[in-house]
Each structure stands twice: as C-alpha cells, then as structure tokens.
C-alpha cells in the first residue's frame, strides 16, 4: 500500500499477530469442548482472518474444529441498489450447523448489514445453538442494524465517514490495517 499522508496505520503486522493469538486463546478459554464449535469465515475478507485463527487454534490445541466459508451475496439487502455488482464467492460449509456454537468471522464491522445477511445465509445450514461474531476492526458509531461483535481486535471511532479501513494481508498470514482517505482511493 502507498503509505502517504492520507493513510494512517491502525495495526502493524506484529500487533495484528498478537491479536490473532489472543483470538485463539479466547476461543479455547470460552469453549471447554471444542467439538461443539464451528468457525465460519465470511467471504471474501473474513476468510483470511478465519484461516489465521484456525492456524493459531491448531498451534495451541490438538482438537479439530469445524471450519467453513460463507458467501452472503444472495442474502444482502442492497443488491441492485448501488449499481455495484456483487460477484458471489463459494460457500463451503460441509456440515450441519444444527446445535453448533458458531463463531462468524469478518475483517471489519461497519454498518452490520453484511453480518446480518450472513446470519440469514447461515440458517440454511441448520439452526445453531448460538452465533458469536469476531472482527479484526470494529468501526463503532456507524451501525445501521443492532449487531455487536463478541471478539474485537481493535475498535475505532468511525464517525468520520470520509475514511475507510483497509486490511492488507501479507505473506505468512500477517496483516496490516490502515485508515485511508476515501477521496484518494
């Protein structure tokens, strides 16, 4: 990424790495029996974070955890509204979510609409016992629906809508997070 005056680093790769480890430790702490846990990465950007969290879980425990990816395209409430074309990515959930405790993972939580649509999509795979939300960045003060994350890497005050958050995935499952001016896209 071009690191000029219109960008500000929110998370360095080393700090993001610590957050990934913390996420895995929190899951181990909160789920005594990992057999009831399923991790679902939200397409497209939440999948990379979900994969890193899974890698960290494997490093600290020998338990297998169910893993899937979910595309919410057909459950979105803005299809055709903005003129933007949404190209679906594959969903891969090869297990029933019935009775499972789901951790839905996305990179940035902004309005909450993507997560709401993901929950709608998730229900076609069964009725989970519970759904929790894990995000790397929580952009507070911009929610349009009542969605709140259970696991947060970092929270930022996003009352200023002239900026957007950019997560750059680097080699070796590392990430940097930047706040960037929208006009200099």
What residue spans define the domains of the chain? 12-161
Cα dist. 89→13, 41, 73, 74 in Å? Answer: 27, 12, 8, 11
Structure-token pair, residue 164: 């957007």
pLDDT at 1: 46
Q: Give average pLDDT by consecutive 10-residue segment, the chain, 185 residues.
A: 64 91 96 92 92 94 92 64 66 94 94 90 93 94 90 82 69 72 53
Q: Dihedral (C-alpha) 146, 73, 37, 49: value to the nearest 10 degrees?
A: -90
Instruction: Outline where the chain has alpha helix (H).
Output: 13-30, 45-60, 113-122
pLDDT at 185: 43
pLDDT at 76: 56
pLDDT at 7: 76
Helix (H, G, I), strand (E, B) or coil at 145: coil
Tell me which CATH code domain 12-161 carries.
3.40.50.2020
Distance CA 18, CA 177 (A): 13
Backbone angles phi, psi at 70, to 5 degrees: -135, 130
pLDDT at 143: 86
pLDDT at 163: 63
pLDDT at 89: 80
Structure-token pair, residue 105: 């993972």
The model's pTM is: 0.86
Task: Label residues 86-102 b or e (16+ Cβ within 10 Å = b).
Answer: eeeeebebeeebeebbb
Q: Which residues contact 159 (CB under 8 A, 6 or more apart)?
A: 141, 142
Beta pairing class for 163-170 and 174-181: antiparallel
């Amino acid at each position: 990424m071009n690191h000029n005056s219109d960008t500000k680093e929110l998370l360095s790769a080393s700090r993001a790495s610590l957050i990934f480890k913390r996420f895995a430790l929190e899951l181990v702490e909160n789920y005594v029996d990992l057999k009831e846990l399923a991790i679902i990465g939200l397409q497209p950007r939440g999948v990379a974070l979900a994969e890193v969290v899974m890698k960290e879980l494997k490093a600290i425990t020998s338990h297998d955890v169910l893993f899937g990816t979910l595309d919410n395209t057909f459950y979105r409430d803005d299809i055709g509204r903005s003129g933007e074309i949404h190209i679906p990515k594959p969903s891969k959930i090869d297990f029933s979510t019935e009775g499972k405790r789901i951790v839905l993972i996305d990179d940035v939580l902004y309005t909450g609409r993507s997560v709401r649509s993901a929950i709608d999509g998730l229900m076609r795979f069964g009725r989970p016992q519970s759904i929790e939300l894990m995000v790397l960045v929580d952009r507070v003060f911009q929610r349009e629906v009542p969605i709140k994350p259970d696991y947060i890497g970092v929270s930022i005050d996003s009352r200023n809508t002239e900026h957007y958050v950019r997560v750059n995935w680097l080699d070796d499952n590392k990430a940097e997070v930047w706040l960037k001016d929208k006009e200099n896209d």
